Structure 1
Amino acid sequence: APAPGSSRVSRIKVAQVTRVPAAEAPPAPGVCPPSGVRLTNDDGDAAMGLRVVGLRLENCGKRDYALDGYPQLELLDDDLAPVHGVRIFHGSSGISTGSGFDDPARPLVLKPGQSAVSGLMWRNLTEFGTAVNVPYVRVRAKEGAAPVTVTPHLDLGTTGKLAVRAWAREAS
């Protein structure tokens, strides 16, 4: 018999499990990895076929962290193998306008405690061909940075296009 005030739920079904290599897993909340930067993704936003997932890079270390450009991306399938046939564009590539994705890349230095944001954008259109789903994205904040594998579950449809926004200082 359930204890007073306890839940009546007696069974749970796991609908989906994601796994990433331990060395590439995003850190737990409140944990700063040895690199001194914490890279995470948000849950995304979707409206009328337009999808956007935000990337956030926080300097949780003790030294300044310089960025200049775009995050480096590798799209991965369910088995963590590279996904081919998707073009990654710097800027919106006409996917949508007015989103900040076409703002030029500018050098920036994150002081400890500061953050930068980027994002991924695509249209989930399904026309001719096979729809592409990308459960994992291996992200490097910049050339030579340690990879972090995030799980945004991109439903790219059949467009074969993914836009990435340049790093920009997070508005405080």
Structure 2
Amino acid sequence: MTNGTGEPADVTVVFSRTGAGGGATDNVTKTVEGLAPGAVEKGRVELGGTASGVKVLKVRSVPSAEASRPNGPCPASGVLVSVGEGDAATGLRVVGLHLRNCGTAAVTLNGYPELQVLDEERKPVDGVQVVHGGARIATGTGADAPPQEFVLKPGEGAGSTLVWRNTTGAGDPVNAPYVRVRATPGAAPVTVTPELDLGTTGSLGVGAWVRDDAGTSASGR
């Protein structure tokens, strides 16, 4: 893998191991953190089992300064933000955003995370409306709790929910791998990779932050 950007980046490559007939047997994900600009990282993907070949499914690159590392060191912001695995059914997508106070000071949340939808080149996507709550997209997603102010002590967590449909109609479908998240206004941004397939809907719903122990945050994808 190569970092073709002008800043250190966390680069993730998803490989597909293929069988004798060319069909996929399983996927393997490799990530290199803090890859320097222009640097090349070499490695191996073991075939294993009945696999006979390997192909690259996708490559994702996030600036290391904005990378989501849920199991990594606590950033200067004092919060770790990550995206879950999520659920998908009949074109509906429900994905959890997770936040943990990894610092030493209390963190106050009140309202919705601020989102910026980015394309494969991490450029803002025009024409996508971010709406508060999920009711305009689907009911029963867990994204419609009203915003409330609460304080997270060190070690405590909170969740939000992303909701969208991949319905297609007239126009070009929108596929946007990245979302830049600010947990609160003015907070340092974190870029996550929920792989938005918005179809031609032009809408992304986001739920208010809720405590993890409230039992209403999404399980995520």
TM-score (norm 1): 0.91
1:11 positional shift: 5.1
Take 1:94 and 1:55, find their aligned partners in 2: how far apart are those partners?
19
1:103-151, CA deviations, whole angstroms, 9 ceiling, x for partnerless residues?
Answer: 1000011011110000110111011111001110000001010000001
Alpha-carbon distance between aligned partners in 1 of 2:192 and 2:148, rounded to the nearest angstrom:
24
1:97 paired residue number:
139
Distance (whole Å) between structure 2 residues aligned to residue 28 and residue 43 of structure 1: 13
* 1:127 is aligned to 2:169: yes
The reply to whether residue 114 of structure 1 matches residue 159 of structure 2 is no
- Relative to structure 1, the CA distance from residue 30 to residue 151 in structure 2 (aligned partners, 3 Å threshold; closer, same or farther) is same
- The answer to whether residue 103 in structure 2 is matched with residue 40 in structure 1 is no
Gaps of 5+ in 2: 1-46, 216-221
- Equivalent AA in structure 1 for residue 163 of structure 2: M
Aligned counterpart in structure 1 of residue 116 of structure 2, from 74, 89, 95 = 74
Distance 1:160 1:60, change over 3 A: same
Identity %: 55
Q: In structure 2, what residue type is equivalent to 1:21?
A: P
- 3-state SS in 1 of match to 2:60: coil
* TM-score for the superposition, normalised by structure 2: 0.71
1:22 paired residue among 60, 64, 73: 64
Alignment match, 2:183: 141
**Greater RCO, 1 or 2 (C-alpha within 8 Å, sep 6+):** 1
Q: How does 1:58-69 map to 2 (within 5 A)?
A: 58-69=100-111
Separation (CA, whole Å) in 2 of partners of 1:126 and 1:64: 43
- In the alignment of these two chains, the number of paired residues is 167
The one of 50, 62, 66 aligned to 2:92: 50
- 2:70, 2:82 within 8 Å by CA — same for their partners in 1? no
Contact persistence 1:27–1:33 (CA under 8 A): no
Q: Greater share of strand residues, 1 or 2?
A: 2
Any gaps of 5 or more consecutive residues in structure 1? 1-5
Deviation at 1:98, TM superposition (A): 2.1
Shift of 1:27: 2.1
